[in-house]
Amino acid sequence: MLRTHTCGELRLEDLNKKVTLAGWVQRVRNKGGLIWVDLRDRYGITQLIFEEGEADAALLKRAGSLGREFVVQAHGKVIERTAKNNKIPTGEIEIKVSDLQVLNKAKVPPFIIEDDTDGGEDLRMKYRYLDLRRNSIREKLHLRHRMMQETRKYMDLANFMEVETPVLIKSTPEGARDFVVPSRIHAGEFYALPQSPQTFKQLLMVSGFDRYFQIVKCFRDEDLRADRQPEFTQIDCEMSFVEQEDILELFEGMIRHLFRAVKGLELEEVQRMTYDDAMRLYGNDKPDLRFGMTFVELNEQAQDKGFNVFDSAELVVGICAKGAADYTRKQLDELTNWVKRPQIGAKGLVYVKCNADGTFKSSVDKFYSQEDLKSWAEKAGAAAGDLLLVLSGELDATRKQLSELRLKMGDDLGLRDKSVYKALWVLDFPLLEWDEETARFHAMHHPFTSPKTEDIPLLETDPGKVRANAYDLVINGVEIGGGSIRIHDRETQQLMFSHLGFTEEEAQSQFGFLMEAFEYGAPPHGGIAFGFDRLCAIFGGSDSIRDYIAFPKNNAGRDVMINSPSSISGDQLTELSLAIQRKKD
Amino acid sequence: MLRTHTCGELRLEDLNKKVTLAGWVQRVRNKGGLIWVDLRDRYGITQLIFEEGEADAALLKRAGSLGREFVVQAHGKVIERTAKNNKIPTGEIEIKVSDLQVLNKAKVPPFIIEDDTDGGEDLRMKYRYLDLRRNSIREKLHLRHRMMQETRKYMDLANFMEVETPVLIKSTPEGARDFVVPSRIHAGEFYALPQSPQTFKQLLMVSGFDRYFQIVKCFRDEDLRADRQPEFTQIDCEMSFVEQEDILELFEGMIRHLFRAVKGLELEEVQRMTYDDAMRLYGNDKPDLRFGMTFVELNEQAQDKGFNVFDSAELVVGICAKGAADYTRKQLDELTNWVKRPQIGAKGLVYVKCNADGTFKSSVDKFYSQEDLKSWAEKAGAAAGDLLLVLSGELDATRKQLSELRLKMGDDLGLRDKSVYKALWVLDFPLLEWDEETARFHAMHHPFTSPKTEDIPLLETDPGKVRANAYDLVINGVEIGGGSIRIHDRETQQLMFSHLGFTEEEAQSQFGFLMEAFEYGAPPHGGIAFGFDRLCAIFGGSDSIRDYIAFPKNNAGRDVMINSPSSISGDQLTELSLAIQRKKD
């Protein structure tokens, strides 16, 4: 090794040791005859000292000429600092340097390599290797490392086998777009990159593997949004001979283990809620339970009093913001404008202030008496000092709008503390959802999810009402995992495909191997997959997954550091039996 | 759970417990009023018993109608067996079944699902999910699972951070062919799948990650040979501030840990040998050290005695097969024919038998006296009863031929015991190797490998003689890992690219990001990568990697189970701005 110790490990008890350190120059302070250098590596910072008289002139000169981010090796003796720094673990000592080698020089970095950097997003992506030098970023990737190790420990102890499924698989038109890989040997044919190992993990259950997991890269060729990546990582799991309850318990255990092992945190009991309740109470299938502010339906109280907006609405629904009755006219106007933005799409906002003296002040005072408003407040459990915010209109749209407003109020009132974690299972998802664009039903989860046995007859009469054996794990309003009990017999799987609009031939050519496998003794099975990037971000208290990925792509799916994607040679294209054929605009 | 216990866990101490088991029907023995069913799952086999009088007629009938591989759930009581089976851990008990559900039927499998199967390779690949049901295959994948977990434990303890590098990267013409992935958003541009995360792991060192590892899928679009897969898995590692010796020690430790943890085996000291010695003594850069039979160069002893074949040879070299002097004329003729096959390419084979009476019998008796032959035997350390086998010709070719013969003799004489493990570091590889086809030097390892400092001047005068800071780990004649100390400064990297025939523009466009990174404070670093599939096969005592991969491709790179690669739709092609353009034959 080019060092005897790291820059994070020397302490007072190492006094007088002869040591060799290696690392990066973080800072040089040059007082003429006295030079201090902060030497940094992954493990910490240690101060080097060069003193006139003690160090020879050449050494002093060399130390004085060091630039930021130079890589150096320093030999010296551990001494006690006169001015101690109790902010860092090595702050009681320094190294009196007797020899110094520059292992590599460094140009001046294009941005400051500290937690608080002056580098913009684009610059930091181009020089990602320098961005990764910043402690704050490296710590995020260290968290990710720990999450991976602890996930595997838990799964291994629970008898799950880690099995690598193939990356070069087959394209299926269902769901999001596949990335494809042209085959050179089989001209005109393509592999596809997996959107998930779904069919393979189900085959492993047919194989009797009993418990499978994998932390695995998946791929989706989507039009990218702010927080999507074309390649992402899943914790992918599947179990045989289980019922939904078994999966909920086992993976609640996994999340609990991760909080304990990685964050030293004891997670409260994971709550449970049906999809219907989540939509009714929070207008959202991934409610943030760090705060209440549940929906209060006011149709009965608010309709037939002459206020046409409410009278004509399918739903009148409000939330009670505790202690917000002192919102000013200006604040309320801002909220109204906020919900009327096209992104939210509400027509307007009705408020009711519960005054300290027991009276009410609302934006619809001319339609409603104090008694009327009191009945709203009572329904909402509002007390003096609280503020009711009410929206109305078509049911689904209004719920969606109020959900957005609820989250905004949670933010405004400081109720969404990033250090608090509230986990929730959302259960009984619908099996199918209607897609306006294609005018047919799509699988809400995926086509392998089983319907609840008692709802199967509804498939023929009212498909939208069929509930699935499907569940999502939500933490702080973010969906971090989802899964289902699968179909495990050919007949039900075929029925499902036909309800999804597959012809028999299409079902056979795309998923024939799976349906055939079901005929050779497939056990009942189910599973779950967690979005690992997002899980890491949640654990790190961040909204963005990008910092938790070592080399992310930008919003255009481009790696600006290596400049990819890029053109390939004509020879390569010829070998692949391909030609570029630009779309006509 | 649909079971209270697995099929592998019940023992005599569980007597009289009410249990529920679930699994696959391995075998049914029906003696009329008495039916036994072997129920199998991943954990073992438990015998179910159905007895007339005890079980009702309907239950007995249901048990009698079970077919192979049916999936069933059985409720019953643990009782002691009258006829115990000490071959399985559950052999002292059986389950007196009180109720039985068929969870799923099974068609008759296309081959027998036992260790000894009647299924051919092609059939087993098409129904891989049934092949994976066989214990012998599942155990191989369980070994792989354990290897992964133990590798990570060791690396984590040694402070390595597991970092996922991207799968969608950039195509580089150096080395093997890349698989490419057309970008839909950036028409006419392509990502490539990584042949290894080499440049990314080096960038992580520039980032100060200090110690990186990953168990990662890599991809090579090669014309497939028997034991190659288009996608394969590596244990990929890199460290900063290290010298070669540090890497050898750390990864010898890893291999030692794996043998101990996975096989309960204490690995002997890992030997070390230079590349030159390996070629001189074994004719091979990955010698199998489970047996000796080192090369003995006989030019001095065998030339200038009138035997023109030897006289005109660059090298006369032999091996001593201990105790093989009793090889018959027929056996020796077979050996001669074997070395003369085009795959080996020798012109002939000279043998010398060391007889029990101290005389010698050779195929070249007319050219050599007993004294001559005695001098050969002495040089070779051959004793009475031994057999010398001698080849001659051009140096490299002859070494290669004799290496093949040595391995064959090792096999024939039973010296290559699969339960014995001999590990070896091969050191001081050449930096460059001459490629006849392109008439230029190629990097023997890869272009990022550093030359030995003292050999750098030779780059201008005798490039083939330059030694690299490169090393391979070999176990039982199989290369399982290789690595090097890398170049970490722009100048040396540029020099290297120019010696490999890159123009400055080519080097810049392909690896400019890496060379630029080297200018911002790159630490000295080095690393290693292990072929994980092969490592698992070696640990499993197998020559073939395919059984250690859950869903392998066949020799044509095809997954015959899911039928991939396959054609994609015209719409997909249009979206990707591509057209199929078949090569003209």
Domain boundaries, chain A: 12-104, 118-269+525-585, 291-412
Residue-wise pLDDT tens digits, A100-112: 999 999 999 999 9
For chain A, how long is the longest CA-to-CA vector?
94
- Among residues B37, B4, B14, B1, which one has the least CA distance to residue B90? B14
* pLDDT confidence band for B584 (50 / 70 / 90): low
Taking only the tens place, the pLDDT of each residue in B475-520 is 999 999 999 999 999 999 999 999 998 999 999 988 999 999 999 9
Kindly indicate the confidence band of residue B20, based on its pLDDT and cuts at 50, 70 and 90: very high
A397 class by beta-carbon count within 10 Å (0-12 exposed, 13-18 middle, 19+ buried): middle
* Closest approach of B332 to chain A, Cα-based (Å): 42
Answer yes or no: is A311 a known binding residue.
no
Q: Which pTM does this prediction carry?
A: 0.95
For residue B241, the 8-state DSSP code is: S
Strand partners, A578: B580
CA distance B569 to chain A (A): 9
Q: Known binder of ligand: residue A229?
A: yes
Mean pLDDT of B389-398: 97
Report phi then psi at B341, rounded to 5: -60, 150
Contact across the interface for B567 and A188, Cβ inside 8 Å: yes
Distance (Å, whole) CA B210 – CA B159: 9
CATH classification (class only), B118-269+525-585: alpha beta
Highest-scoring range by mean pLDDT, A469-478, B538-547, B554-563: A469-478
Q: A572 vs A543, which has greater pLDDT?
A: A572
Contact (CB, 8 A) for A366 and A341: no
- Across all residues in chain B, what is the average pLDDT? 95
pLDDT digits (tens, 9 = 90+) for A236-289: 999 999 999 999 999 999 999 999 999 999 999 999 999 999 999 999 999 999
Nearest 5°: the CA angle A4, A8, A12 is 85
pLDDT tens string B213-233: 999 999 999 887 767 899 999
What confidence score (pLDDT) does residue B582 get? Answer: 82
Is B132 in contact with B141 (CB distance < 8 Å)? Answer: yes
Dist CA B439 CA A278 (whole Å):
70
Q: What is the rounded (10 degree) CA torsion for B262, B265, B266, B268?
A: -110
Q: How far apart, in whole angstroms, are the C-alpha atoms of residue B524 and residue A104?
A: 8
**Residue A328, pLDDT above cutoff 80:** yes
Helix boundaries (H) for A103-240: 121-126, 128-131, 135-157, 198-206
Query: What percentage of residues in chain A have a pLDDT greater than 70?
Result: 99
Contact criterion met (CB < 8 Å) for B210 and A41 = yes
Q: What is the DSSP string of B341-373?
A: STTT--S--EEEEE-TTS-EEETTTTT--HHHH
Which distant-in-sequence residues (6+ apart) come within 8 Å of A305 by Cβ?
Answer: A311, A367, A368, A372
Say which amino acid occupies B116.
D
pLDDT attached to residue B26: 95
pLDDT of A534 > 60? The answer is yes
Distance of CA A546 to the CA centre of its chain: 9
User: How many interchain CB pairs under 8 A, A with B?
Assistant: 358
Q: Tell me the two tokens of residue A579.
A: 């030609």
CB contact under 8 A, B580 and A187: yes
> Looking at the partner chain, which of B133, B188, B513 has a beta carbon nearest the beta carbon of A580?
B188
pLDDT tens, A462-483?
999 999 999 999 999 999 999 9
CA distance B124 to B120: 6
The annotation status of A486 as a binding-site residue, yes or no, is yes
CA distance A417 to chain B (A): 29
User: How does residue A195 score in pLDDT terms, banded at 50, 70 and 90?
Assistant: very high
CB pair distance less than 8 Å for A162 and B168: no
Chain A residues with CB under 8 Å of B104 CB are: 488-489, 518, 521-524
Q: Could you tell me the two tokens for B237?
A: 């590692």
Nearest-CA residue of chain B relative to A204? B129
User: What is the distance in angstroms between the CA of the first residue and the CA of the last residue of chain A?
Assistant: 59
Helical spans, DSSP H, in B25-103: 57-64
A531 labeled binding residue: yes
CATH of domain A291-412: 3.30.1360.30
What is the rounded distance in angstroms from the CA atom of residue A446 to the CA atom of residue A482? Answer: 11
> Does A187 contact B583 at a Cβ distance shorter than 8 Å?
yes
Query: Alpha-carbon Rg of chain B, whole angstroms?
Result: 30
Sign of the C-alpha dihedral computed for residues A130, A134, A136 and A140 taken in this order: positive
* Burial degree of A454 (CB within 10 A; 0-12, 13-18, 19+): exposed
**Could you check whether A12-104 and A291-412 share the same CATH topology?**
no
| Cβ–Cβ below 8 Å for A241 and B22 | yes
Are the beta carbons of A107 and B22 separated by less than 8 Å?
A: no
Q: Using the predicted structure, report yes or no on whether residue A225 has a pLDDT greater than 90.
A: no
In whole angstroms, what is the distance from residue A35 CA to residue B469 CA? 36
- Which CATH class, in words, describes the domain spanning A12-104? mainly beta
Residue B512 token pair: 């400019």
Under the banding of pLDDT at 50, 70 and 90, the label for residue A52 is confident
Looking at residue A438, its pLDDT comes to 83
Residue-level length of chain A: 585
Q: Is A310 annotated as a binding residue?
A: no
Distance from CA of A542 to the nearest CA of B (A): 19
B532 is in an annotated binding site: yes
Share of chain A above pLDDT 90, in %: 90
Task: Tell me which of B68, B114, B209, B573 to substitute to probe the interface with A (most A C-beta atoms closer than 10 Å).
Answer: B209
Contacts of B81 (CB under 8 A, 6+ apart): B47, B91, B92, B93, B94
Find the residue in A nearest to B487 (Cα).
Answer: A104
Single-letter code of the amino acid located at A438: T
ipTM of the complex: 0.95
Instruction: Please state, as a whole number, how many other Cβ atoms lie within 10 Å of the Cβ of residue B441.
Output: 19
CB contact under 8 A, A562 and B187: no
Return the pLDDT at B437.
Answer: 84
What pLDDT is attached to residue B585? 56
User: In whole numbers, what is the pLDDT of chain A averaged over residues?
Assistant: 95
What is residue B33's predicted lDDT score, i.e. its pLDDT?
87
- The whole-number pLDDT of residue B497 equals 93
Q: What is the pLDDT of residue A585?
A: 56
Q: Mutation test of the interface with chain A: which of B24, B42, B168, choosing the one with the most A Cβ atoms within 10 A? A: B168
How far, CA to CA in Å, does B338 sit from each of B348, B349, B408, B409? 10, 10, 10, 11
For range B359-368, the mean pLDDT: 96
DSSP string, B297-347: E-HHHHSSSS-HHHHT-SEEEEEEETT-TT--HHHHHHHHHHHHSTTT--S
Pick from B104, B170, B204: CB nearest A521: B104
Question: Does B174 score more than 80 pLDDT?
Answer: no
Other beta carbons within 10 angstroms of residue A298's beta carbon come to 22
For chain B, the residue count is 585
Answer yes or no: do B138 and A207 touch at CB < 8 A.
yes
